[in-house]
């Protein structure tokens, strides 16, 4: 289960799902984009695959990350 802290949009957090775009990963952290509000999220998965902790990427850093792709 993955929930966007910004808008409350939620999905199952799987790679193939459409609620959050999968942009890549950095170590244990996945970079996702909320389809609802467009916010960048850093997602940390816990040992329980059903639980994920999402953190909003600050707007400025997010713009840079998107520009770099
Ligand atoms: Zn959102």
**Where does the pLDDT of residue 68 fall: very low under 50, low under 70, confident under 90, or very high at 90 and above?**
confident
- Rounded to the nearest angstrom, the distance between the alpha carbon of 49 and the centre of ligand 1 is 21
- Rounded to the nearest angstrom, the distance between the alpha carbon of 6 and the centre of ligand 1 is 5
> What is the pTM for the complete model shown?
0.80
- Give CA–CA dist 13/40, Å, rounded: 14
The model's pLDDT over 15-65, given as tens digits with 9 standing for 90+, comes to: 677 899 999 888 889 999 999 999 999 999 777 766 788 999 999 999 998
- Rounded to the nearest angstrom, the distance between the alpha carbon of 50 and the centre of ligand 1 is 19
- Rounded to the nearest angstrom, the distance between the alpha carbon of 48 and the centre of ligand 1 is 23
């Amino acid at each position: 289960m993955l929930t966007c802290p910004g808008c409350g949009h939620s999905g199952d957090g799987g790679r193939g799902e459409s609620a959050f775009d999968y942009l890549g990963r950095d170590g244990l952290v996945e970079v996702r984009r909320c389809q609802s509000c467009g916010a960048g999220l850093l997602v940390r998965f816990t040992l329980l695959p059903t639980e994920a902790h999402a953190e909003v990427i600050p707007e400025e850093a997010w713009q840079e990350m998107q520009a770099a792709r």
